[in-house]
Amino acid sequence: MKNIYKYLLIPSILIFSLSFCNNKQEKESNKNSVQQDQESNQQTIHQDGILYKLDMSAGNTEVNWIGYKTNEKTAVSGSFSEFSSDRENQSFNSIDDLVDGLNFSISSLSSSSGDPIRDLNLKDYFFKYLTDNFEIEGTLGRPINDSIDVSFNILGQDQTVRFAYSTYLTTSKYSNKIIQIKGKLNLVNQFNGEAFNSIHKQCFDLHKGSDGISKTWEEVDVHIKVLVINETNPKFHQ
């Protein structure tokens, strides 16, 4: 009888041992799988952990211009205070994605040069001929290295101009960034020549230099700065 128990006991021990080993191996496998999933999630969070959003509130966005008059090339500067885009209150995984395809609108009626007479002349004899509704509209392309294409809609026709493009960190502890777009516009070749001729004629005497010659320069410098907020991705809190 003891021999029978002995023979029954040995297989039972073997079965239990094998079962225990299999359970241990399965647990180790599950543990490794969980660790891999966690590592994969951590990599995803690391890659997509920041969201970017425009801040076009007053003081955080600047749209400046500089025109020139007289043979001495006397600078006349101004800025726009009213502008908008279709990317406001939207978040993106990268600044390039945020910028690419962004549609913007600038109210030319908000242009200010610090001279009321000049501003009135620009409104009635320049911007009036530039667009139908005093809105300068356009679309940004995708940044390529240090440049970006900007497409302007002038009286129903698109005109694409390449500008210099850069981004840099602000002094904020949240690592916000500034998008900077700089370049030149030719008011005759790239924009409506009628608008240029109109303002030159209206300001003929005002644009005379010390030599008595009136000159309105075709080129205008443009300098745009836009604040981009560095947001924390909700994935960090999941």
Is residue 63 located within the same domain as residue 41? Answer: no
Predicted TM-score (pTM) of this structure: 0.75
- My answer on whether 189 and 141 are in the same domain is yes
- From 186, 194, 120, select the one nearest 159 (Cα to Cα): 186
d(Cα 43, Cα 62) in Å, to the nearest integer?
36
Q: What is the pLDDT of residues 22-78, one digit of tens each?
A: 554 554 555 555 455 444 443 333 344 689 999 988 789 999 999 999 999 999 999
Predicted confidence at residue 30, as pLDDT, reads 53
Which of 158, 161, 163, 160 shows the shortest CA–CA distance to 143? 163
CB 190 within 8 A of CB 148: no
Q: Domain of residue 35: give its range.
A: 1-48
CATH code, domain with 62: 2.40.128.110
pLDDT tens for 62-121 read: 999 999 999 999 999 999 999 999 998 899 999 999 999 999 999 999 999 999 999 999
> 106 with 165, same domain?
yes
**What is the tally of structural domains in the chain?**
2
Give 1-12 pLDDT, tens digit per residue.
544 444 444 445
The rounded distance, in Å, linking the Cα atoms of 224 and 161 is 14
Backbone angles phi, psi at 129, to 5 degrees: -95, -5
Do residues 107 and 134 make contact, with C-beta atoms less than 8 angstroms apart? yes
Q: Answer yes or no: do 98 and 30 share one domain.
A: no
Q: Is the same domain home to 77 and 111? A: yes
